[in-house]
Amino acid sequence: MFMLKEIRETKGITQIQLAKMLGVSERTIRKYEQEEDSMQVGMFKKIMTALDMSSNSPAILQKVSSNTSKSVQQSPKNTEIISSKGVSLPQTLNDDIVSIPFYEDITASAGSGAYNEAETAEQLNFPKSFLRQYFGIVSFNNLSIIIGKGDSMYPTLPKNCYLLVQNGSVSDGEICITRIEDELYVKRLQKRPKLKLLSDNKAYDPIELEGENFEIIGRVVGYFKKTTL
């Protein structure tokens, strides 16, 4: 969830005050906080501005479940499929704000595989403190956002969400982005006894990596739940 209530209370702003700042009713704010109503992208941006969160993200933030066997954690380095295209990497704007590239043309499939080459990236600004608190991120230099499609990772990842990715080594049992030939997959990595990609949705068969032309790019540290566009 976007944690609107927690952030608002941290800022010392009441529902009534926020409603007046946005020109909406207190009931609307209450519905947003209780996730009873979808939030338009424009309203999301207004809220981020009102709360001084300095983000222009077209999504609602949500951290992936982090229980013992299905943890999604941070890792160093950016995805090769992105950096190899010569597209600019995330840049630090100031002590608390980090600019993360959103590649709308890159798709990782939670299903049968998908790939689109990215030509441009929209830079989305996020407070490091926010990413640290809700995603457990301690390194901010190599984050990127791509689109995840399909339902093979349900219920851990919702269908058609934005994936917050960080490149580097991936531990056994973590959710990762993997390239097989020219297709990208978002799956859970199994290293032993055989190297496989597993789906949390048991309707999908495992993918064996041995003998394949593959690259484990990085791990998913969280996801962004789409709003109504």
Strand segments (E) across 87-142 = 91-92, 97-109, 122-127
Residues 186 and 139 in one domain: yes
Taking the whole predicted model, whether its pTM rises above 0.75 is answered as no
pLDDT of residue 131: 84
- Shared domain for 17 and 49, answered yes or no, is yes
CATH of the domain at 207: 2.10.109.10
Which pLDDT score is estimated for 164? Answer: 92
Residue 62 counted as domain residue: no
Query: How much is the pLDDT for 195?
Result: 96
Q: Residue 212 — φ and ψ, nearest 5°?
A: -95, 155
In a domain, residue 60? The reply is: no
Domain of residue 190: give its range. 68-226
Regions of the chain where pLDDT drops below 70: 1-3, 35-42, 53-94, 111-119, 226-229
Burial of 215 (0-12, 13-18, 19+ CB in 10 A): middle
In a domain, 63, yes or no: no
Give the model's pLDDT for residue 53: 64
- Tell me how far apart the alpha carbons of residues 135 and 131 are, in angstroms, rounded to a whole number: 5
The answer to whether residue 61 is domain-embedded is no
Place of tokens 């993918």: 207
Residue 86: the pLDDT is: 32
User: 179, 117 in Cβ contact below 8 A?
Assistant: no
Number of structural domains in the chain: 2
219: number of Cβ within 10 Å? 24
Instruction: Identify the residue whose tokens are 């901010």.
Output: 140
Residue 152 lies in a domain: yes
What is the predicted pLDDT for the residue at 68?
Answer: 26
